[in-house]
Structure 1
Amino acid sequence: MDPIVALAVAGALLVGTLVVGFVWQARDGRRRSGHGRRVDAEDTGALAPRATLVQFSTELCARCPQVRRMLGQVADAHDGVVHTEVDLTHRTDLASKYHVLQTPTTFLVDAAGVVRARFNGVPRRADVEEALGAFPRLQEA
């Protein structure tokens, strides 16, 4: 192969890889619509009266512990909000059922079990707080 052609092919592969990497990074952790999908309480545990933060993780997920801490802090700061974690290592059927292709993946679920927001990757705390702000507050008793 001609050295010029080889360098051009290598350069094109490098540029293509960089573009894919930048797009992937830009989309990681972004809030997406839940598309009205419902979750079963049997799969995720009891649903909270206001909202449930459902984190899908695996045992070998390096980013899951930081997401677990952050979502736990968000849940503790809001009345009627609970954080629950589903380990896909032991429940691989749920990865297919809910179309989870990477961990961590987080669902923001209302009291009726409807997914209102979905975060693939590590969500920013501000994005989770903003999505949670759309949920009605619990009435004082």
Structure 2
Amino acid sequence: MSPAVALAAVAALLVLATLVGVAHRRREGRRRDGGDLRFDPADADGAALGATATLVQFSTETCARCPQVRRLLGSYAATHGNLAHIEVDLTYRPDLSARYRVLQTPTTFLLDASGVVRARFGGVPAQDALATAIASLA
């Protein structure tokens, strides 16, 4: 292989990796539809759902961004009445990642009062998207 072909291959690989990274970054923290999922409170040791809405955070012990999301969601739950925050550690319950289709941590679900997933956020939720999603349930 000539040096020019090798250099072109490396450059093409770098461009492709950059495009994949940018696409992934744009999706992170954005609100997505919850699909047809319903969260079972028994999966969180019987934690109580909020009267209006519940924020369920899926995390692991090795997740670097999970403490930041825990503080963010905890502050939302403290300042918004009838809103609960539940954290589920997938380190001890890996079966839940398949059941709820969680591919990364942190992942956050916004549940309505009956436990139906109305929105989901991969990564650190964008504050404006999270506020809009919570307001849509009020």
Task: Please indicate the TM-score interval, normalised by the length of the shorter structure.
Answer: over 0.9
CA distance in 2, matches of 1:46, 1:19: 42
Residue 42 (structure 1) aligns with: 42
Per-residue Cα deviation, 1:14-72 (whole angstroms, up to 9, x for no partner): 00000000001001111000013111110132211100000000000000000000000
Q: Which runs of 5+ in 1 are unaligned?
A: 137-141
The share of aligned pairs that are identical, in percent, is 57
TM-score by length of structure 2 reads: 0.96
Give 3-state SS (helix, strand or coil) of 2:137's partner: coil
Residue 114 (structure 1) aligns with: 116
Matches within 5 A, 1:1-141: 1-44=1-44, 45-136=47-138
Q: Which runs of 5+ in 2 are unaligned?
A: none
Give 3-state SS (helix, strand or coil) of 2:63's partner: coil
CA distance in 2, matches of 1:77, 1:48: 13
| Amino acid in the other structure paired with 2:72 | M
Runs (4+) of structure 1 moved beyond 3 Å?
none
Give 3-state SS (helix, strand or coil) of 1:106's partner: strand
Pairwise CA RMSD: 0.7
Give 3-state SS (helix, strand or coil) of 1:134's partner: helix
